[in-house]
Amino acid sequence: MSLATSPQAIDPPLWLLAELTYRCPLQCPYCSNPLDFARYREELDTDAWIDVLRQARAMGAVQLGFSGGEPLVRRDLEVLVAEARRLGFYTNLITSGVGLNGARIEALREAGLDHIQISLQAADDELAAAVAGSAKAHAAKLAMARAVKAAGYPMVLNVVLHRHNIDDTDRLIALCDELGADAVELASCQYYGWAKLNRAGLLPSRAQVERAEAVTQRWRERLAERGREMRLLFVVPDYFAQRPKACMGGWGAIFMTVAPDGSVLPCHSARELPMAFPHVRDGSLEEIWYASEAFNRFRGDAWMPEPCGSCSERHQDHGGCRCQAMMLTGDPAATDPVCSKSPRRELIDRALAEAVETANGSAALVPRQAKHSRTFWRG
Ligand code: SF4
Ligand code: FES
């Protein structure tokens, strides 16, 4: 591994995202896992994960997310949480809630888990079952959300918003309020992985987004009047913005993701890029973070083409998202087409126009599954 950049010039990672597995009992058509997730059957074992945790903490990472797939399918989750806690991480479990039960909540609490985020698909059983591909999941999630609060955890509820549930924003927030959430992330679907495949059937209209944002604002005011502390975060879809997000806070700047098979990635979608990524077996996490070609490829601004290269905003958004640039233009170094200065912005505008054309329910959604030859649901 060549030392492409001086270690002193790069801050250590703040976050480690431990994607413990791609296995998941649900089939959400907006899953951000790779389309070919089933290829990656190999998973790091408990000892290998503990080694990852120790290395990342020694480098200075303090925030740890256990995610997947569904991290609860790992029977060693409690062991990993306990080790993470012992090392001094602030531990977050990012889960669908399916696979949780009272005994497991207690075991995770004893292991020292700090924080739980549960995802909801919809405000009602019928839509939730259609989205998740499971008739039982919604009721299980509600029961587990109540159990998590009863166990004294701070709880974030996360809802991925898309064309089919965004008009229910009022009922969704009411449900989260009733469940006792401390924070709610109304996270508009971002079009990576399965969501990109299903984009035509998921993108909401601009009018839907504006209505949902207004509903959220009214809820903020009502909550404040009641003195109820429930933080509401509404994330507008990238496609409706004029500037891209500073994805991951910059490439190799804050986040280090370790995928289930041990690949080390600057973000969870980086497998979409035509690049080789190191494996935990290839060297220490420190070498990978500071010296690997993959992590240095999009650091700084020397790699930026025009218009980013001379743009006054390049240190704010870092030219946008590399994975989005790759998916939409075929060039991972291109200006993120979300940017109104991008010469390829028409790719976004065309997708928005197509979404309006398909809004009457003609776009079938493909559920996340090992072989995606089947469509199961027409919105
Ligand atoms: Fe950001 Fe590049 Fe757009 Fe400038 S041209 S605002 S750096 S994406
Ligand atoms: Fe990979 Fe944005 S999701 S860089």
Q: Please classify residue 226 by burial: count the beta carbons closer than 10 Å to its beta carbon, then call 0-12 exposed, 13-18 middle and 19+ buried.
A: exposed
Is the CB of residue 211 less than 8 Å from the CB of residue 161? Answer: no
Is the CB of residue 3 less than 8 Å from the CB of residue 290? Answer: yes
359: number of Cβ within 10 Å: 18
- What ligand has the least distance to the C-alpha of 335? 1
Residue 376 has pLDDT above 50, yes or no: no
Non-local CB neighbours of 120 within 8 Å, separated by 6+ positions: 128, 138, 141, 145, 157, 158, 159, 172, 175, 176
Specify the pLDDT at position 7.
44
Between the CA of 247 and the centroid of ligand 1 the distance, in Å, is 12
Residues with CB under 6 A from ligand 2: 247-248, 267, 269-270, 321-323
State the closest ligand 1 atom to the C-alpha of 307, by its place in the atom list counted from 1: 5
Distance from C-alpha of 221 to C-alpha of 227, rounded to nearest angstrom = 10
Specify the pLDDT at position 226.
96
Angstrom distances, CA of residue 136 to CA of 24, 76, 127, 139? 14, 25, 12, 6
Question: Each residue of 101-156: pLDDT tens digit?
Answer: 999 999 999 999 999 999 999 999 998 888 888 888 899 999 999 999 999 999 99
Residue 379 has pLDDT above 80, yes or no: no
Residue 361 banded pLDDT, cuts 50, 70, 90: low
Between the CA of 379 and the centroid of ligand 2 the distance, in Å, is 28
pTM given for the model: 0.91
3-state secondary structure of 134: coil
| pLDDT, greater one: 320 or 8 | 320
3-state secondary structure of 182: coil
- Look up the ipTM and state it: 0.94
Q: At CA 275, angle to CA 271 and CA 279, rounded to 5?
A: 70
Is the CB of residue 22 less than 8 Å from the CB of residue 69? Answer: yes
Helical packing angle, 169-179 and 206-226, nearest 10°: 30
Distance from C-alpha of 220 to C-alpha of 225, rounded to nearest angstrom = 9
Q: Which tokens in the block code for residue 161? A: 């918003």
Counting residues of the chain whose pLDDT is more than 70, the rounded percentage is: 94
Question: Each residue of 149-204: pLDDT tens digit?
Answer: 999 999 999 999 999 999 999 999 999 999 999 999 999 999 988 888 899 889 99
Specify the pLDDT at position 362.
58
Residue 35 banded pLDDT, cuts 50, 70, 90: confident
Domain 15-240 CATH assignment equals 3.40.50.150 = no
Domain with CATH 3.20.20.70 in the chain: 15-240
Question: Each residue of 85-105: pLDDT tens digit?
Answer: 999 999 999 999 888 999 999
Question: Each residue of 226-281: pLDDT tens digit?
Answer: 999 999 999 988 899 999 999 999 999 999 999 999 999 999 999 989 999 999 99
Residue 373 has pLDDT above 60, yes or no: no
Instruction: Kindly tell me the number of DSSP H helices and DSSP E strands found in the chain.
Output: 14, 11
Specify the pLDDT at position 378.
44
Q: Which tokens in the block code for residue 264? A: 């080390």
In the numeric block, the tokens 């806070």 are attached to 249
Between the CA of 156 and the centroid of ligand 2 the distance, in Å, is 23
Q: Which tokens in the block code for residue 250? A: 């910059």
